Chains A and B, each alone.
Chain A
């Protein structure tokens, strides 16, 4: 369930599943292996390390997120294989200057709480996976 994933993230831990059938990882957890569909899965802690696959600086936000613009959304490929969506901890202007050079840069994942919005499924708190660049730019 999503709550365990986000609570662990707030403690700096990234939770995923390892498939006993094909050996691949699924993160965040889901009912079946993202690679082979098996339910023969075991919960594991991932390294929390990955690299940026793509990113976008967002200037127009959905209702409930307007106060946060501009923010940088990124998709990160984890060391163990899966990709996760989150936010890059960086000055948006710097991100724009770096442009495509940001891609492939190494990051570390952690969790941060943000103000909630009416439609978010977790009514208690909204946690965002955050990506911190391993080397300053």
Chain B
């Protein structure tokens, strides 16, 4: 297998875009990525595009060809990937595999989504298409609901009083909002940078014990990256970011996972796959961009990825281990909570942040001496999991 690297990355402003289509949002991100890649359009051989619920938010499917045509990539293979919130991470991983295998030298990857403009009821129903469509949706289970169940179970299984856990969850919200408030492309730029624990606890109850400030927002936005063979990358740019390892795993309905849901076993499997391919361990990772769709989700993710023991990450969070100046900075761009979550674009937006951080060119909260980092994207209730390890080192 060949080594693979990332050239340019791009991201639209995240937020509300009532007057811009899925195509518009992707194109903006694509051209930012393309223009910093020092290649010609004809060098791009395929487009791998992530979108989750275009059918419900925009009445539009069959989207990949429209993306390719819009940006002038007429006629090339264009494929849409759907893995709920992990859609563009699945697209990214498949692009990496196709380049590594020698099928292509250069692939454009990205995604776009318009959930905020769709409104809360349609947006909530659209997101709920990722739960079991027969046996769970009938009860009215929503995504905040999934993580509300997980939070209560976490409290019970690890014998952490719910009040204490809620404090740790509030800290995740405070931290990610603080990081996101500094992000000019984030949905909450300049907002919510100084939340207090009480603000999170007393915000509107969505699904007990998950409050509004425990949730990531609904978001419109797009993200893109250009993936190429390391050989091509080294010819055209000075600072390729190498893909050292990727992992992916799946799980069935939440009720089939049962009590094990708090262990997020699909994520454990995916992260282990990525670490094995990269020949690294969690200790080698300088920072993480992970899927904090809800505050409790960040705590569960940190444990399943192997950064903390099961039942320990809530404490580490309260101790500041995941802050910008902690031992493992988590979500320096604000994460889903602070930056926004345009579902199909989220995975590649994590890659965007990691690549810019590793190049020392972060839009905000530049970390010092970072060389290797990891993304984590969760689709559905642990149904699709993708992890990507990126580094300035080729190894």
Contact = CB atoms under 8 A, between A and B. Distances in A.
B134 A85 contact: no
Interface string B122-155: 1011011100111111111110110011101101
A106 to B, nearest CB: 16
Nearest to A62: B125
Contacts of B122: 63
Interface of B: 120-122, 124-125, 127-129, 132-142, 144-145, 148-150, 152-153, 155-156, 162, 204-210, 252-256, 258-259
Contact of B149 (A73, A77, A127): A73
Contact of A2 (B129, B134, B141): B134
A56 B208 CA distance: 5
Interface of A: 2, 28, 30, 34, 53-66, 68, 71, 73, 75, 77, 82-87, 95-96, 99-100, 103, 114, 119-122, 126-129
B132 A85 contact: yes
Q: 4 closest pairs, A vs B, by CB?
A: A56-B148, A62-B125, A63-B125, A63-B121
B152 A54 contact: yes
A127 B138 contact: yes
Nearest to B147: A56
| Most chain B CB neighbours (cut-off 10 Å) among A55, A95, A114 | A55
Nearest to A65: B140
A129 B136 CA distance: 9
12 contacts: A54-B149, A55-B152, A57-B207, A58-B140, A60-B142, A62-B127, A75-B255, A82-B256, A85-B254, A95-B208, A122-B134, A127-B138
A84 B255 CA distance: 5
B255 A56 contact: no
A58 B145 contact: yes
Interface of B is mostly: helix
A119 B256 CA distance: 22
B34 to A, nearest CB: 37
B153 A54 contact: yes
Contacts of B210: 56
Contacts of B137: 62, 120
A82 B124 contact: no
A75 B254 contact: yes
Contacts of A121: 133-134
B121 A62 contact: yes
A66 B135 contact: no
A120 B138 contact: yes
A62 B142 contact: yes
Nearest to B207: A56
A2 B138 CA distance: 12
A85 B162 contact: no
Contacts of A87: 139-140
Given A56-B208, A57-B208, 17 more contacts: A34-B252, A34-B256, A53-B153, A54-B150, A56-B148, A56-B149, A57-B205, A58-B207, A63-B121, A65-B140, A73-B149, A73-B207, A83-B259, A95-B208, A100-B152, A100-B155, A103-B156
A47 to B, nearest CB: 17
B138 A128 contact: yes
Given A66-B121, A84-B255, A28 B135 contact: yes
Nearest to B153: A54
A102 B200 CA distance: 24
B205 A62 contact: no
B10 to A, nearest CB: 32
B351 to A, nearest CB: 30
A35 to B, nearest CB: 10
Nearest to A34: B256
Contacts of B152: 54-56, 100, 103
A9 to B, nearest CB: 10
B299 to A, nearest CB: 16
A75 B149 contact: yes
Nearest to B140: A65
A65 to B, nearest CB: 4
Contacts of B134: 2, 121-122
